[in-house]
C-alpha cells in the first residue's frame, strides 16, 4: 500500500535524527533520508513528492535546505522535476528488500593471491629490520628548507603531467655521479627518474617482456622484484646463488630467458659480491642469447672496503638496465629512484611512464638536485658509511663471540644488512617469529627463497641501519639466546 503524505513526512522526521547522518549538513541529512526511502520502496516510481514548502514547514527546515536536497536527488537520477507539476520519483533499481541477497564470495584473482602471499604487511622498524636506514641521522630540517624553496616558486609545467623522464638538473647530476662512482658512461637523456625501484621494475617487466616470458631471478632473492614480475605475469625461473653470485647451470641456457634480474654489488639477501669472472661470463652468454640484464644496485654506496664497485652496465651499456634508488641513502618515503637505459629504448620508457605511472613530484626532484649539488648528499653518505661500519662490526663480533661455529656470516663488505647463515636443521622462520614476539625485527632467509627444496637454506637477515649501537647489543644478545635454545631443542 502506498504511504500517505503524513506517513512519509513522519518517516522523514524520524530518519533525520538517526546517528548515521546526524553529523551531516541539514540538506545532506534530508537528501540521505529521502534517498533511503526510495531505496526501501517507501517512495515508489511515479510518486510526486510533497511540495518543498510543505516539507519545510512540517520538518522545521528552511525552504532552501529542502530545495538543495531535492536538487541533489534530481542530479543523481532518483527524481525529476516537472515545471508547474512537481517532483516525481524515477525508477532506479529494485528496492533494497527485493535485491538478491544470496551469499557469495568474490575472490582475488590467482595473480592477486600470489601477490598477497608475497606481501609482508608487518611494519618493520628497529633492530634488525633489513633495508631501513637510520632515519634519525638524516638532516630533515635542512632537507625541508630545500623542499620549501621550490614549493614556494613551482614552475607551471610541473603542475601538468610532465613527460621528460624527470628533472634535467637531477638527471645531469646523476649522470656525473654514476660516471665517478660506478664507471657508468651515460648522458642525462639515458636516465629516467621514477617513484622508486618497484616502479622501475614494473616499467622494465612491461616494456621488455611479454606475458609468460621466462625471467631468471636469484634464489634466494628480492621479494619486491618477484612481486613485480608476478604482476607482469612473467614466468619466474629461480637460479641458485653461490659465493660468486648468481650461478645458472650450463644447461639452463638451453631455454634462454628474456630477462635476468640480479643484484651483483651486494646480492640480496645473502650479501655476496658477483666476481669479475662471473660478471663477464654472464654478460657474454646474455649477449649470445639476446637477453636483457636488470642490475639492481640498491645500496652500493655503503661499501666498507675500498670504493663502490663498477656496475655491470659499465661493461655492457646496451644490454644492461641499471636501477638505483635513494631510499637507502636518505629515507624510503622520498620515493625517488632512477634507471639508466640504452638510448634506443629511452623514449618508449618515457612515454610509458608518463601515460601509466606519472613522474615523481618535480618539487621533490628539484630539491634533491640542489641538495646533492650543494654537497649535503655526499657528506651524509660519508657520515653514515662510518657509522654503519661501526654497527656492522659490533653485530658481527657479537654473533661470532656468542654463537661461534653455529653461525656463518655473509654480506659484510657492503650495505645495511648481513646474512647470518644457520645450520639447515634449524627452523629460521620459527626463530624469526619468536624474535618478532620480543620486538626483534629480523627476517628468515628461507622466506626469500623461490624454490625452498632446492636451496635448503636457513638463516636470518639482520639489518643494522635502523638500530643504534645499544639496540644492536641488546637485541643481539636476545637473538643469540633464541638461536642457542633452538639448537638444543
Assigned C-alpha cell, 343: 638510448
- Shared domain for 337 and 255, answered yes or no, is yes
Does the pLDDT at position 364 exceed 90?
A: yes
Q: What is the DSSP track for 113-128?
A: HHHHHH---S---STB
63 belongs to a structural domain = yes
- Please give the model's pTM, rounded to 2 decimal places: 0.82
The C-alpha atoms of residue 205 and residue 232 are separated, in whole angstroms, by: 6
> Running DSSP on this structure, what letter comes out for residue 359?
P
Per-residue pLDDT, 448: 92
Q: Can you say whether residue 116 is alpha, beta or left, with left for phi > 0 and alpha for psi between -120 and 50 degrees? A: alpha
Arithmetic mean of pLDDT, 434-449: 92
Arithmetic mean of pLDDT, 45-60: 88
125 belongs to a structural domain = no
469: domain CATH number is 3.90.1150.10
483 belongs to a structural domain = yes
Contacts of 343 (CB under 8 A, 6+ apart): 189, 190
Strand partners, 410: 419
Arithmetic mean of pLDDT, 426-448: 93
Does the pLDDT at position 40 exceed 90?
A: no
Among the residue ranges 18-27, 166-175, 314-323, 426-435, the one predicted with the least confidence is: 18-27
pLDDT band at 93 (very low <50, low <70, confident <90, very high): low
Q: What is the four-CA torsion angle of 222, 227, 229, 233, rounded to 10 degrees?
A: 150
- Shared domain for 217 and 353, answered yes or no, is yes
Among the residue ranges 5-19, 312-326, 457-471, the one predicted with the least confidence is: 5-19
The three-class DSSP label of residue 180 is: helix
Arithmetic mean of pLDDT, 143-163: 84
Does the pLDDT at position 97 exceed 70?
A: no
181: domain CATH number is 3.40.640.10
Q: How confident is the model over 380-430, as pLDDT tens digits? A: 999 999 999 999 999 999 999 999 999 999 999 999 999 999 998 999 999
Arithmetic mean of pLDDT, 192-216: 95
Per-residue pLDDT, 335: 92
The C-alpha atoms of residue 93 and residue 371 are separated, in whole angstroms, by: 58
Residue with the three cell numbers 533499481: 93
Which residue range is the domain that position 338 belongs to?
A: 112-119+144-376
- Shared domain for 248 and 372, answered yes or no, is yes
78: domain CATH number is 1.10.10.10
Domain count, the chain: 3
130 belongs to a structural domain = no
Task: Answer for the pair 457, 420: CB distance below 8 angstroms, yes or no.
Answer: no
Angle between helix axes 362-373 and 376-403 (nearest 10 degrees) is 80
- Shared domain for 278 and 336, answered yes or no, is yes
Arithmetic mean of pLDDT, 4-23: 79
3-state helix, strand, coil in the chain (%, to 5): 50, 15, 35
Does the pLDDT at position 100 exceed 60?
A: no
Q: What is the DSSP track for 393-462?
A: HHHHHHHHHHHGGG-EEE--SBSSEEEEE--TTS-HHHHHHHHHHTT---EEGGGG-S-HHHH---EEEE
The C-alpha atoms of residue 486 and residue 489 are separated, in whole angstroms, by: 5
Cα-trace Rg, the chain: 30
401 belongs to a structural domain = yes
Name which of 174, 387, 389 is nearest 303 in CA terms: 389
Give Cα separations from 394 to 10, 37, 397, 465 (angstroms).
75, 69, 5, 12
- Shared domain for 384 and 356, answered yes or no, is no
Residue where a domain stops, chosen among 376, 391, 422: 376
Per-residue pLDDT, 17: 80
Residue with the three cell numbers 549538513: 25
- Shared domain for 249 and 362, answered yes or no, is yes
Alpha carbon of residue 152 to chain centroid: 29
Among the residue ranges 195-199, 212-216, 305-309, 346-350, the one predicted with the least confidence is: 305-309
148 belongs to a structural domain = yes
Task: Answer for the pair 80, 88: CB distance below 8 angstroms, yes or no.
Answer: yes
Q: State the average pLDDT for the chain.
A: 89
- Shared domain for 383 and 372, answered yes or no, is no
107 belongs to a structural domain = no
Q: What is the DSSP track for 276-291?
A: HHHHHHHHHHHHHTT-
- Shared domain for 310 and 441, answered yes or no, is no
Residue where a domain stops, chosen among 65, 98, 131: 98
Does the pLDDT at position 163 exceed 80?
A: no
- Shared domain for 161 and 236, answered yes or no, is yes
The three-class DSSP label of residue 295 is: strand
Strand partners, 218: 239
Task: Answer for the pair 351, 163: CB distance below 8 angstroms, yes or no.
Answer: yes
The C-alpha atoms of residue 442 and residue 449 are separated, in whole angstroms, by: 16
| Strand 292-296 to 320-325 pairing | parallel
Per-residue pLDDT, 165: 87
Contacts of 250 (CB under 8 A, 6+ apart): none
Per-residue pLDDT, 159: 72
- Shared domain for 158 and 220, answered yes or no, is yes
- Shared domain for 329 and 462, answered yes or no, is no
Q: How confident is the model over 305-363, as pLDDT tens digits? A: 877 778 999 999 999 999 999 999 999 999 999 999 999 999 999 999 888 888 889 99
Name which of 127, 123, 118 is nearest 435 in CA terms: 127
Residue where a domain stops, chosen among 39, 68, 98: 98
133 belongs to a structural domain = no
pLDDT band at 216 (very low <50, low <70, confident <90, very high): very high
What is the share, in percent, of the chain residues with pLDDT greater than 90?
Answer: 64
- Shared domain for 303 and 194, answered yes or no, is yes
Amino acid at each position: 500500500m502506498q504511504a500517505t503524505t503524513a506517513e512519509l513526512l513522519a518517516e522523514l522526521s524520524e530518519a533525520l535524527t538517526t546517528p548515521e547522518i546526524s553529523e551531516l549538513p541539514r540538506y545532506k541529512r534530508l537528501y540521505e533520508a529521502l534517498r533511503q526511502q526510495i531505496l526501501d520502496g517507501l517512495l515508489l516510481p511515479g510518486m510526486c513528492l510533497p511540495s518543498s514548502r510543505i516539507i519545510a514547514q512540517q520538518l522545521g527546515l528552511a525552504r532552501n535546505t529542502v530545495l538543495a536536497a531535492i536538487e541533489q536527488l534530481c542530479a543523481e537520477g532518483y527524481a525529476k522535476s516537472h515545471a508547474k507539476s512537481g517532483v516525481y520519483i524515477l525508477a532506479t533499481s529494485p528496492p533494497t528488500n527485493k535485491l538478491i541477497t544470496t551469499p557469495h564470495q568474490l575472490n582475488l584473482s590467482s595473480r592477486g593471491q600470489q601477490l598477497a602471499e608475497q606481501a609482508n604487511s608487518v611494519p618493520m622498524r628497529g633492530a634488525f629490520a633489513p633495508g631501513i636506514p637510520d632515519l634519525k641521522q638524516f638532516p630533515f630540517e635542512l632537507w625541508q628548507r630545500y623542499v620549501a624553496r621550490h614549493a614556494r616558486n613551482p614552475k607551471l609545467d610541473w603542475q601538468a603531467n610532465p613527460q621528460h623522464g624527470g628533472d634535467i638538473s637531477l638527471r645531469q647530476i646523476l649522470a656525473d655521479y654514476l660516471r665517478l662512482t660506478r664507471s657508468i658512461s651515460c648522458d642525462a637523456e639515458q636516465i629516467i627518474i621514477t617513484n622508486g625501484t618497484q616502479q622501475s621494475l614494473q616499467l622494465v617487466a612491461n616494456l621488455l617482456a611479454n606475458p609468460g616470458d621466462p625471467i631468471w631471478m636469484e634464489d634466494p632473492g628480492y621479494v619486491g622484484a618477484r612481486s613485480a614480475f608476478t604482476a607482469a605475469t612473467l614466468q619466474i625461473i629461480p637460479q641458485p646463488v653461490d659465493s660468486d653470485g648468481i650461478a645458472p647451470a650450463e644447461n639452463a641456457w638451453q631455454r634462454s630467458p628474456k630477462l635476468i634480474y640480479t643484484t651483483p654489488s651486494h646480492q640480496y639477501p645473502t650479501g655476496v659480491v658477483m666476481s669479475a669472472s662471473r660478471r663477464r661470463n654472464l654478460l657474454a652468454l646474455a649477449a649470445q642469447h639476446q637477453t636483457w640484464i636488470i642490475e639492481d644496485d640498491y645500496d652500493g654506496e655503503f661499501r666498507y672496503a675500498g670504493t663502490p664497485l663498477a656496475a655491470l652496465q659499465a661493461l655492457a651499456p646496451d644490454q644492461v638496465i641499471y636501477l638505483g634508488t635513494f631510499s637507502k641513502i636518505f629515507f624510503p618515503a622520498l620515493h625517488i629512484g632512477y634507471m639508466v637505459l640504452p638510448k634506443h629504448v629511452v623514449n618508449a620508457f618515457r612515454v610509458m611512464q608518463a601515460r601509466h605511472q606519472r613522474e615523481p613530484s618535480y618539487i621533490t626532484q628539484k630539491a634533491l638536485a640542489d641538495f646533492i649539488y650543494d654537497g649535503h648528499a655526499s657528506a651524509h653518505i660519508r657520515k653514515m658509511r662510518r657509522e654503519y661500519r661501526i654497527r656492522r662490526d659490533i653485530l658481527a663480533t657479537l654473533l661470532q663471540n656468542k654463537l661461534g661455529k653455529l653461525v656463518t656470516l655473509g654480506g659484510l663488505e657492503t650495505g645495511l644488512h648481513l646474512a647470518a647463515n644457520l645450520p639447515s636443521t634449524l627452523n629460521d622462520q620459527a626463530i624469526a617469529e619468536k624474535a618478532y614476539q620480543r620486538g626483534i625485527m629480523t627476517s628468515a632467509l628461507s622466506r626469500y627463497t623461490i624454490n625452498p627444496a632446492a636451496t635448503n637454506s636457513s638463516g636470518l637477515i639482520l639489518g643494522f641501519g635502523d638500530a643504534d649501537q645499544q639496540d644492536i647489543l641488546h637485541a643481539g644478545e636476545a637473538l643469540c639466546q633464541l638461536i642457542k635454545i633452538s639448537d638444543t631443542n
